[in-house]
Structure 1
Amino acid sequence: MVTRWRAWYLPIAVVMAVADVALIVLGTRTVFSNLLVWVPAVLGVAMAVANFAAAARGTTGQLRTFWRRLTVAMAFVLVAALSQTVDVMTVRSAGMPPIGSRTLLLYVAGTVLAISAMLRLPGGGRSWRQLTTAVLDVTVVAVTAGIAASEYVGWFMDRFGVSTSAWWLNIAMMAIAVAGVVVVVKIMAARQSPVPRAALWWLAPIGLAGPISTVLMTLLNSWPHLNGSAAVLPFVGLFGTLAAFAQQRPGGHAAPTLHPSFYRRSTAVPLVATGLASVLVATVYLRTGHLSTVQVGGTTLLLLLVVARQAMALSENSTLLDTVAHYAMHDELTGLYSRRYFTAAVAEASGPHTVMLVDLKDFRSINDSLGPAAGDALLIAFAARLSGLVGADAVVARLGGDEFGLLLPGTTAVTIGDEPLHADGHEVIVDLSIGVAEGDDDLFRRAEIALREATVNPGQAVVRYDASLERRLNQRATIAADLRRALSAGEFHLLYQPVVELPGGRMVGVESLIRWRRPDGATVSPADFIPVAEDTGLIVELGAWIIDTVCAQAAAWRHRHGPGALQSVAVNVSARQLLDPSLPDVVATALARHGVPASQLTVEITETAVFGGGRALNTVTALSSLGVSIALDDFGTGHSSLGLLRTCPVDAIKVDKSFVDGLNGTPQQEAIAIALTGIAETMGLRTVAEGVETPEQAQRLFELGYRHAQGFHFARPLPPEEIDALLDRAHRLAA
């Protein structure tokens, strides 16, 4: 109910202001009770008091204190308006409108309390230049007000004489005017304020109420039933209500930081003040033919203040330009040089130099798993490490994201170790891709080519530029251009490598492997086109085709050879595919379209793809929820393998060929293969040994507890029809 009533505060305040204007216009044409104009005056101010109190209740801390103080100040104005209403009904005066000392005292008290509330409002820190400029602005406004006041006082004395009441009225009007100046200056000088700037601007016109009411006293003197104070008080209430509404609207509980651009706009205030003073002085001189000492001295002082103000502004602008130039050439987060500065420095370097471009691998995954704060801290820590590795003659820059650049004199690169980095309470080890170019020509582009090679070839952490990289780059560009055409033209096909059961070698599953044959019969190695497909994003579309083709082939084998002919058909899924949230839907749709049970499909992923968690791990979890088997491929060669067995929904591990090659050697060479089968058995996981090439390896794997294997010893990757033949042979043998 209270909230609903508050919604009427602003409309009532608007109605009171409109009614006041209507009554003033009507009062110049007809006579009515002099009490009538005080109804909107009192109600308008009452709306401001109610709104200030509501603003205080809806805020906390400094804001609540500020609005409570303004509520008390406006309450004094409300009581003063009621007191003046009584004066109008009881006091008789000639020349000056009826106003008693009690009323004047209440107006002055309310004004002083409002000034106190504004002065006690924190304004935020500023530089000494900004503080000096603010002081000069205040002084300019004060001198302008003084010049205007000298003319105002003379006019006031001529109009109302020098009676005690006139003096008190003059003091009250001047105090109210000072309140308006204080509000404007406070808005100008504040760098930050807990009060919304819109609210402060709505409060500013209230300070003009006193002088305007005095002018209206003269203009309305011919109509005794009208009153200058009653004419302005509804607008005091309206502007106060608008200020409170600016505080209470959504987003109004905190004022934004005042940026330098805004402060430059605030220079209009002293310029306007100076312009008004000039107009006033010119008008007085043209009317009277002379100026008072105060007006001449004030105008001279005003000109000196404006010169000083502009000199300070130029100095501040110079500092601002220096700051802007600094940030244009430096990275805000790390403090290193920016990409713009770095490229310019490389271009201007004379003589032999070395450019190193460094990229943090899997930074996105780390950022997703540990959070943006840790990601920023990691970048800052790495920037500090790079700076500590090079001398004063080197240029270290952050080129963007997780990429850094070093420009070193001479042709010797620095070694960047992989010690842990401290990032927001975490110790993180990051792998790096580094491209190096040495010499004196086109170093940045050559280093970018080398970095590109290091990025697409995980086995090469550091790549130095040579001419062969250009040829490979051109080759990748050609492949990228042909990939989509090849997919549309049906140039890709799948081979299937059997997974067999030890020791007998019975085929129990297959792993699908993609191949590309051009129309001219030439083949493109997966090692060449898969990284390009990853880079271009076409791997998502290509991967969807592979999944659908594998499911279609699995359905065909089930139809020809029975549901139990193959336990598993495996498909490899890349890191880029795991970042695609639609992958589980792609798999589910393919399984449903071809009628293949989810348990027959195995999705093979690498440890690196899910190391950082985040979206990739969420996708794997969603795939597992479908009933699809998850296998970790090349197990033991990636990140934190044992930890992944706890966090990732794994059903099988495929032991990398590098561990199989060490079988039948020393106990040390066999140690990992032995340990892995023990871990898998304890955790209830299947194990598949990859890259088995000899009967001795197969026998030793069986002795160590392995029951599934694949490799050239059993079969090379085969087309679907040859898998059909193997299944037929197995069926005949079983029969």
Structure 2
Amino acid sequence: MNVGRHERAAASRGFMAAVMAQPLPRVTAALAVFGAGWFVFNVGSPSGAPLVAWALSALCCSLAALACVRVARFPDLAAPTRMFWRHFAVTLTVAVLALASNAYDALAGPQAPTQRVSGLTTALYLTAVTVFLWALLRLPVTRRSREAWLTLGLDAGVVVLAAGLFAWYFMLRGSSELALTTGSDLTAVAIITLGGIDILAAVKLALTGTGPMDRGVLWIMGLAVLVGAGGGALMPLMQASPHITTTHLSIPIIAFLVAVAAERQLRASGTGTARRAARRRPFSLLPYAAIAATDVLLLVSTWNAGQEIRLVVAGSIALTGLVVVRQITAFYDNASLLARLDASMLELSRHEQRFRSLVQNSSDVITVTAMDGTYTYISPSFESVLGHPADFYIGRTLREFTHPQDLPILQDMRDRLARDPGLTVTCQARMRHVDGSWRWLEVVATNRVDDPSVQGIVGNTRDITETRRAQDELAHQATHDALTRLANRTLFTRRAAEALAEAGTRGVALALVDLDDFKAINDRLGHAVGDALLTVVADRLRRCVRPGDTVARLGGDEFAVLLRDASPQETCRVAGEILATLRTPISAQGHDMLVQASIGLVDGAEGMDASELLRRADVAMYAAKEQGKSRSVRYSADMDDRAAEDARLGADLLQAMLSQDQLFLLYQPVVRLPHGDIAGVEALIRWRHPERGLVSPVEFIPVAERNGMIVQLGDWVLREACRQMAEWRRLHGDGAPSRVGVNVSARQLREPAFARTVADVLAETGLRPDDLLVEITETAVFDDGPAVETVAAIQALGVAIALDDFGTGHSSLGLLRTCPVDVLKVDKLFVEEVTGTAEQAAIATSLAQIAQALGLRAVAEGVETPAQAMRLYQMGYRLAQGYHFSRPLSAEDLGGLLAAEGRDPDTWEPPALAG
């Protein structure tokens, strides 16, 4: 508190220093000091001309009027403030005229020198007072409540009553002396009026506020009025000095105060000086000052009364003081309570503003809806979500903007909220944007119907459209093939399980589609062409199915078509349409291709799951491939038996390869026509099963090709045949066969290192390259892919190549030009017909002529009769093999046959295969 008082004192000193630096305040201060000195020196007897005092008063009043005019012309002041200063300038101007008339009365009037005033002078003084009173009343007051006006009226009544008592006491005791001194009763009226004005200024200042006026200005103006009233009240004291009046003392002081007030007004409004903050006192001192003054008046007026009266008066004054102290204490308590309440309200307002700012600027939308879904409140951010202003939705229902498919979701949410007040439920639904699109919104709703401040369901809503789009894209990627955009194995398995669960044992079918020889296309033309081909195949499969069916890519070139509510006839129709549409030439990256497929069909059965459905279709699909490909085969129970048999046979074959005593080779001679001399041999693998006895190659070779064991099996045959050939070379020299033929599968030719394997085997066994004949089939090299490159690499080693079973495969004569071939082995199918009609023997004849024209050796296979051998010789064939010449023999039997021939090396004609 002391710190605040010192700060205010320092501010006041700084203000007075700044004011006294201005011309008008400095001049009026000097004149006030001069006037006070003049008055003191002239109280007892005249020390100078009285006209000087009157001229000084008129000059000071004129300077004060000039200061008021200066303020009234300041443009930055409010209009009521400028009006007040203009009225005050008029007041001072009238006062100058009154001073001139008063000086004439005192110096040149009757009974001069005298203090008596004429009626004109009194009228001018009263006019000045009236103008000032009008200016004061014109100042606007602060707006307040009805209760505040009541309090203000009571306080003003206390002040006015006290002032009335003082005025009555003054009129009773001093008015006669003042009238005797001035010569008129109007003087007392003017003094009382000045006192009333001073009281009015104090009431206005302390009770009603200052309005646009600076508070300090009104305090200074009130002090000036008080000085004027006090000077008039002291007039009776000057009866002994008629040459001088209290006006000579009060007017210069009033002028100085007016100049200071004007300068303060300019500084408060023009120079930016801040108006002092509102007082912290919780009550006005003025009513209590009036009570205290009245108590003093009461005490003075009863001082000469009896002791009992003085005691009663003293007790009443003490009791009034205690009541005042009690009331002031209550004021401070109430003020403290109000201060805490104001602080709480301010904090609450800040929290409310913060909450409002968060709600209005949040990207999430806050909504309040009635239980029927009608919007009662929506935060402004809703416009950024759905495009419409928030007011557009007020009074409308959710149903108007929600996607029809999502209405049950919202209804379920409202039902749950209605059953459990206070429950929070989260749901996702689509709502229409102003542009017509649908936006996904996530709503977190809480039932706050019981809360009087809410009375509805509070929803926190945010836009999750992009999130849902990303989730849907990820879900699609997780369940669809990236290349063909078909369902992948995961989605297919789920839909198959759903279909089987819904349909039971009827109406569900699966067509498993596998492209024939697709790997050859990948190897020959590249994966880019293969991918383009798969995309076209996927599009064609889509066109073959019905709505509600599922087409999936399970991997590689394997597709699955899941059919719902399909009869066996409908399943066959779809499979036939798939085969037909795939037979249409496909163009992929500039390559025109014919694509064939093998299809396995299976119908749903009782107790079947998705994996079993797929397994059975896979079994049927492999059966279709075994039957010649490019066809569809329906699953049957015996296929499982055959598959199980293949599995057992494959396991036994693996064991046979490890045991080294079950597999062996037989060698069938290739003879030269017409004499039948051995020109070469073909190695043929056989399997002696420990339980089943001899197993035909027709049974175990396809199994080895399907399970991949054909590569290991073929390598074993190559090494064993070459080892045996080296052994014959060592035992029989030139009497040994000129070449040993080894059959090589298509799978072996696709091995990049197979040519290197052949070279290693020749090196290990010590055979010359021309001692070996590699026999391949047309199908293995028909696609002109890596297999042809492997064949070329083998021929580059010096190893001869034979095209086995020629005429039964693709039978492409262009193959003889693109594939490096040395020998054509004509299939038994054509050899059997050589003894028939010319038409029947035409193919065998043509093949012999083609081989001769291309510089190839032709070998006739499957010769079983002498007539066939003779006819083949006549057609031009010089090499043949078959049961007519010899069955396949063991290495020991063939060795004995070679030894029995006892040929003379000098007369031995080189075998035909040697060329």
Deviates more, 1:703-712 or 1:288-297: 288-297
1:484 match = 654
1:446 match = 616
1:459-478 residue pairs with structure 2 within 5 A? 461-478=631-648
1:593-608 residue pairs with structure 2 within 5 A? 593-608=764-779
Deviations 1:437-466 (A, max 9, x none): 235344432211112333455478443322
Q: Aligned in 2, Cα 1:338/1:509: closer, same or farther, shift over 3 Å? A: same
1:544 has 2:709 as partner? no
Conservation of the 8 A alpha-carbon contact between 1:630 and 1:649: yes
Q: Aligned in 2, Cα 1:591/1:563: closer, same or farther, shift over 3 Å? A: farther
Q: Which amino acid aligns with 2:484?
A: T
1:378 match = 533
2:472 match = 322
Q: Aligned in 2, Cα 1:305/1:328: closer, same or farther, shift over 3 Å? A: closer
Q: Aligned in 2, Cα 1:557/1:460: closer, same or farther, shift over 3 Å? A: farther
Conservation of the 8 A alpha-carbon contact between 1:687 and 1:706: yes
1:331 has 2:331 as partner? no
Q: Aligned in 2, Cα 1:723/1:462: closer, same or farther, shift over 3 Å? A: farther
1:581-620 residue pairs with structure 2 within 5 A? 581-620=752-791
Structure 1 residue 663: deviation in Å?
2.6
1:344 has 2:494 as partner? yes
Q: Aligned in 2, Cα 1:598/1:505: closer, same or farther, shift over 3 Å? A: same
Q: Which amino acid aligns with 1:375?
A: G
TM-score (norm 1): 0.56
Conservation of the 8 A alpha-carbon contact between 2:740 and 2:772: yes
2:831 match = 660
Report the Cα distance in structure 1 between the residues aligned to 2:348 and 2:616, rounded to whole angstroms.
Answer: 80
Report the Cα distance in structure 2 between the residues aligned to 1:489 and 1:445, rounded to whole angstroms.
Answer: 32
Conservation of the 8 A alpha-carbon contact between 1:598 and 1:626: yes
Report the Cα distance in structure 1 between the residues aligned to 2:593 and 2:562, rounded to whole angstroms.
Answer: 26
Task: Indicate which of 592, 598, 612 corresponds to 1:433.
Answer: 598
Structure 1 residue 405: deviation in Å?
1.7
Aligned residues: 450
Q: Aligned in 2, Cα 1:670/1:464: closer, same or farther, shift over 3 Å? A: farther
Structure 1 residue 472: deviation in Å?
1.3
Q: Aligned in 2, Cα 1:623/1:533: closer, same or farther, shift over 3 Å? A: same
1:396 match = 551
Q: Which amino acid aligns with 1:318?
A: R
Q: Aligned in 2, Cα 1:380/1:481: closer, same or farther, shift over 3 Å? A: same
1:257 match = none
2:588 match = 423
Report the Cα distance in structure 2 between the residues aligned to 1:581 and 1:702, rounded to whole angstroms.
Answer: 40
Conservation of the 8 A alpha-carbon contact between 1:635 and 1:641: no
Q: Which amino acid aligns with 1:391?
A: R
Conservation of the 8 A alpha-carbon contact between 2:596 and 2:630: no
Secondary structure, counterpart of 1:706 in structure 2? coil
Kindly report the root-mean-square deviation, in angstroms, between the aligned alpha carbons of the 2 structures.
3.1
1:625 match = 796
Secondary structure, counterpart of 1:581 in structure 2? coil
1:411 match = 568
Deviations 1:54-92 (A, max 9, x none): xxxxxxxxxxxxxxxxxxxxxxxxxxxxxxxxxxxxxxx
Structure 1 residue 678: deviation in Å?
2.3
1:524 match = 695
1:114 match = none
Deviates more, 1:404-413 or 1:357-366: 404-413
Q: Aligned in 2, Cα 1:439/1:705: closer, same or farther, shift over 3 Å? A: farther
Q: Which amino acid aligns with 1:475?
A: E
1:16-31 residue pairs with structure 2 within 5 A? none
Report the Cα distance in structure 1 between the residues aligned to 2:353 and 2:848, rounded to whole angstroms.
Answer: 100
Q: Which amino acid aligns with 2:519?
A: R
Q: Aligned in 2, Cα 1:662/1:326: closer, same or farther, shift over 3 Å? A: farther
Conservation of the 8 A alpha-carbon contact between 2:510 and 2:614: yes
Unaligned runs of 5+ in 2: 1-346, 366-380, 386-441, 443-460, 909-915
Conservation of the 8 A alpha-carbon contact between 1:611 and 1:640: no
Q: Aligned in 2, Cα 1:694/1:440: closer, same or farther, shift over 3 Å? A: same
Q: Which amino acid aligns with 1:547?
A: L
Secondary structure, counterpart of 1:562 in structure 2? helix
Structure 1 residue 297: deviation in Å?
8.7
Q: Aligned in 2, Cα 1:459/1:404: closer, same or farther, shift over 3 Å? A: closer
Conservation of the 8 A alpha-carbon contact between 2:516 and 2:629: no
Report the Cα distance in structure 2 between the residues aligned to 1:511 and 1:458, rounded to whole angstroms.
Answer: 26
Conservation of the 8 A alpha-carbon contact between 1:411 and 1:439: no
1:180-195 residue pairs with structure 2 within 5 A? none
TM-score (norm 2): 0.46
Report the Cα distance in structure 2 between the residues aligned to 1:695 and 1:438, rounded to whole angstroms.
Answer: 54
Report the Cα distance in structure 2 between the residues aligned to 1:339 and 1:294, rounded to whole angstroms.
Answer: 57
Deviations 1:385-404 (A, max 9, x none): 33333333543322211011
Report the Cα distance in structure 1 between the residues aligned to 2:355 and 2:691, rounded to whole angstroms.
Answer: 97
Task: Indicate which of 863, 868, 882 corresponds to 1:711.
Answer: 882
Secondary structure, counterpart of 2:682 in structure 1? strand
Q: Aligned in 2, Cα 1:544/1:501: closer, same or farther, shift over 3 Å? A: same
Structure 1 residue 498: deviation in Å?
1.2
1:302 has 2:472 as partner? no
Deviations 1:684-704 (A, max 9, x none): 111112222233332332222
Q: Identify the structure with bigger relative contact order (alpha carbons < 8 Å, sequence gap 6+).
A: 1
Conservation of the 8 A alpha-carbon contact between 1:398 and 1:404: yes
Structure 1 residue 505: deviation in Å?
1.9
Q: Aligned in 2, Cα 1:666/1:407: closer, same or farther, shift over 3 Å? A: farther
Structure 1 residue 620: deviation in Å?
1.6
Could you say which structure has the larger radius of gyration?
Answer: 2
Secondary structure, counterpart of 1:641 in structure 2? coil
Deviations 1:23-81 (A, max 9, x none): xxxxxxxxxxxxxxxxxxxxxxxxxxxxxxxxxxxxxxxxxxxxxxxxxxxxxxxxxxx
Q: Which amino acid aligns with 2:530?
A: G
Secondary structure, counterpart of 2:686 in structure 1? strand
Report the Cα distance in structure 1 between the residues aligned to 2:630 and 2:897, rounded to whole angstroms.
Answer: 39
Structure 1 residue 477: deviation in Å?
1.3
Report the Cα distance in structure 1 between the residues aligned to 2:867 and 2:533, rounded to whole angstroms.
Answer: 48
Q: Aligned in 2, Cα 1:400/1:560: closer, same or farther, shift over 3 Å? A: same
Report the Cα distance in structure 2 between the residues aligned to 1:478 and 1:467, rounded to whole angstroms.
Answer: 17
Report the Cα distance in structure 1 between the residues aligned to 2:688 and 2:784, rounded to whole angstroms.
Answer: 36
- Counting aligned pairs with the same residue, the percent is 48
Structure 1 residue 712: deviation in Å?
2.0
Report the Cα distance in structure 2 between the residues aligned to 1:372 and 1:521, rounded to whole angstroms.
Answer: 44
Report the Cα distance in structure 1 between the residues aligned to 2:363 and 2:588, rounded to whole angstroms.
Answer: 54
Conservation of the 8 A alpha-carbon contact between 1:451 and 1:463: yes
Deviations 1:198-220 (A, max 9, x none): xxxxxxxxxxxxxxxxxxxxxxx
Structure 1 residue 561: deviation in Å?
1.9
Unaligned runs of 5+ in 1: 1-287
Q: Which amino acid aligns with 1:688?
A: V
Report the Cα distance in structure 2 between the residues aligned to 1:432 and 1:656, rounded to whole angstroms.
Answer: 27
1:641 match = 812
1:126-525 residue pairs with structure 2 within 5 A? 301-304=360-363, 313-347=463-497, 348-349=499-500, 350=503, 351-408=506-563, 409-412=566-569, 413=572, 414-415=575-576, 416-417=579-580, 418-438=583-603, 440-441=605-606, 442=608, 443-456=613-626, 458=628, 461-490=631-660, 491-520=662-691, 522-525=693-696
Deviations 1:504-550 (A, max 9, x none): 22221111011111234612222222233233333222222211111
Report the Cα distance in structure 1 between the residues aligned to 2:843 and 2:510, rounded to whole angstroms.
Answer: 40
Conservation of the 8 A alpha-carbon contact between 1:353 and 1:411: no
